[in-house]
Homo-oligomer: A and B are copies of this chain.
Amino acid sequence: MFKFAIAKKDRDSCARLGRLETAHGGVDTPVFMAVGTQGTVKGVTPQQIRDCGVGMVLGNTYHLMLRPGSERIAKLGGLHRFMAWDGPILTDSGGFQVFSLADLTKRDDRGVTFRSHIDGNLIRLDPERSMKVQRDLGSDVVMAFDDCTPYPADRAATRASMALTHRWADHSLNHFQGGHQSLFGIVQGGMYPDLRAESARELCAKPFAGFAVGGLSVGEPKDLMYPILRHTAPLLPEEKPRYLMGVGTPADLVNAVSAGIDMFDCVMPTRNARNGSAFTSLGKVAIKQAAHKDSDLPLDPACACYTCTHFTRAYLNHIYRAGEILASVLMTIHNLSYYQTLMAGIRQAIAADRFPAFKAHILQTYAARDIFDYPMPDTQTGEVPARNVEDHPTCG
């Protein structure tokens, strides 16, 4: 079922244009997946998700195993049917949320034990259980159960965490049963370029269908995230999809694409929408600002989404201030549409050999710097040097 093919490599960067096929249909890459944490992309119906141009959705193993329970979803026909989304779904392994949301009680060599943030029940999660839960959910892309190295972490702790990830990668492969599902491995190594290289070497020797760069966007500055990302991405097999987990801003997306990333997910468009913050062709717009109270303009004059073609900023300002559900809905529709339009723009730019100009335009819109302008951190300390700017991308 699972196929990944690169249609074109950008001549000016490491960007790739491709196509990912699953049992539930395909998406063009680079692709941004909408986050559907608890079995819903917050605030919007599957019909609206489609109308926003979203082709692929992410589900959270941690949330769904706690409530309503993966066996219940399996009995009801799997996550696709449960949430009425018939397109491709990727599920994460649950590990990241255990660390960020649960009351972690114990991590050992074989897995983690934690207390549910919902009812306080003691729960065990390990590679075998993560594969079982994701099998219950029936997602198209399954993520290996990994140990997400926190930031900051010293070299010894990062190495130990990485070793655990590698062992759990084998356990995940052992318990993964295939069928219509595909399994992705996750590269760790923290902020140490040589550990990233070691992790990529170890993991890429294993029979995963794709690879994620994990352990980024966990609190580290862009000064570390960007050089580590552009160092790691080219170390992943060229013929398999590369997925940057939990990233990011529009500037992050064009930067990561230029470093060779094919897949993304992030709560930012949906969460920011509910907080009244829009991504637009003019940069960020905070809809609650009094300046919008009388504005007859759409949220984004360049946008063709339902929100921008039907409502003024004045209206959105009003319903946001009034605490209306529709404010979350309409802002989410716009932000999801913006992200999908951005990804379509990226793909068209690569196809037309004008990706550098497109990237520069987005970076300028959000006053962000190019990923290739960031110096590499020190191999031993993980610290960023003052100089050592690389001028040209290395695509491996």
Contact = CB atoms under 8 A, between A and B. Distances in A.
Interface of A: 38-40, 42-47, 67-68, 72, 75-77, 82-84, 293-294, 296, 306, 310-312, 314-315, 317-319, 321-322, 324-326, 328-330
16 contacts: A38-B318, A39-B322, A43-B325, A45-B329, A45-B330, A47-B306, A67-B318, A67-B322, A72-B293, A76-B294, A77-B296, A82-B315, A82-B318, A84-B310, A325-B325, A329-B329
Contacts of A306: 45, 47
Nearest to A77: B296
A321 B45 contact: no
B72 A294 contact: yes
Given A75-B294, A296-B76, A314 B82 contact: yes
B38 A83 contact: no
Nearest to A51: B47
A68 B326 contact: no
B318 A39 contact: yes
* Identical chains in the assembly: 2
Nearest to A315: B82
A72 B315 CA distance: 10
Nearest to A330: B45
Nearest to A332: B325
Contacts of A294: 72, 75-76
A324 B82 contact: no
A268 B145 CA distance: 47
Nearest to A327: B40
A88 to B, nearest CB: 18
Given A67-B318, A82-B314, A324 B42 contact: yes
